[in-house]
Structure 1
Amino acid sequence: MKEQRNCWSERMKNNKPRILFTTQLSEQKRTRLENSELLIESEPLITFEYKLPGMWRNGVPQKADAWIFTSKKAVKAVRPVIKDFEIPKHIFAVGSKTAEKLEEIGLKVSIPEQYKATTLAAMMRELDLNKVVHFCGNLKAADLDTLLGDQVELTSVEVYKTKLTNHIISDLDDFDALVFMSPSAVESFCHQNKVPDGIQVFCIGPTTEETARELGMKNCITPEYFTIDSLMETIQQFYFEDHRSTH
């Protein structure tokens, strides 16, 4: 693995749960988890590449009834040139963190009660929407075109690319848990790896968990709120409240 790892026998002596995040964690979040007596390691299974605005801006309709953002990365890609477009009446975000990024640039955002494409589509069908723009990556999780129906003209604008690394993780048996932050990370993992029996799986949200279960993963847990902070709290509770007697 890319990050240097301490001797497993030393970790066993410390008797701390060893958790593998399949994404890069910030030092702040890593420290927070390690301060709660967890051993945290990360192995990014996907990488991102932002497309230059000149590669996609002409594909954005100047007049639309709504915009959709399903990730913070889409917001980051659009933000530098957002003043070049006519802002629609409705802007939708899937996820509180995505909504926060949009609100930072002064946009009023609507969020579905559940952070799922089906819930978003149901929410949008209640409005009189004809033209909708979805700012997304190349591996968007759901077919919104089908979910919204024939009455809505949906334009998907690809503003970043997700690349799967598809590499082998040789010491999976040494971990107590795996953490997945996206369906793409689950798919990348499964190209070359299999979850060992008995290992705990944590997922950031229901779409990620659904992908994990479809690909044969068991023992999946998703937090009540689909944010990294809520996920971290869920992991801490699992090991130090609900399962204290077993660790």
Structure 2
Amino acid sequence: MKITFLGTGNSQGIPIIGSKHPVCLSKNPKDKRLRSSVLIEKDKKFFLIDCGPDFRYQMLRSNHERLDAIFLTHEHHDHIGGLDDIRPFSFNMNKPIPVYGLRRVLENLKKRFFYIFSENHKSNTSRISIHELDSYKDFFIVEDFKVFPLSIWHGDLPILGFRIENFAYITDASSIPLQTIQQLKELDILVLNFLRKAPKYPYHFTLYKSLNAIQKIRPKKTYLTHISHMIGFHEEIETRLPEDVYLAYDGLIIYET
């Protein structure tokens, strides 16, 4: 399984428009972060987790031409804002792209992208098929692969993470239920959000809470994502992380065997 980090930034991305913060002014490409998303490739099938507003540019620079399914963690703009840009994939593949998410998230899509769901298409819009997920269901099947939805809390909003084989992706977590911790045992690779070092924040893990969750889950390797400029410079922070914990960066490719 090949995992490509399309983006590793928070909702504003880095650099922030107009910011003079040193990280936003950094020349290191690892300090430049688009909104968070990953592309998973397995047996010539391609699965996207979240489709943010940077999706078009992410696809152009990663040079991918196929998309077999999209899994949505939740309905915030930095996770669904690029959905209209899946049009070339649905046209080229000549079929709707399946989109999986909680009922609340799918209902939000119908309102926000109402023209996609209109029965009277007057222009070339994206073609998608929607599939409702239940966070308490053990797994669902996509292209013969088992995908496990993971119940996560983002402040007081229930959202999803996803596990495929021994890889799991969690973003925007502020807490992880014990039941989900049990679903995350024996992971080779965990991707987990880390917004900033401190202070405490009610909607996202800070460094202490991320490391605490990693200790409970005990994956072989962890890559941190959904990062803000407030963590500091990539090269400096990575040297201070525990063994087998890394900062992800845009364009990073890893493999789960």
TM-score by length of 2: 0.32
* Greater per-residue helix proportion: 1
Determine which structure has the larger strand proportion and give its number. 2
TM norm structure 1: 0.33
Q: Which has the larger radius of gyration?
A: 1
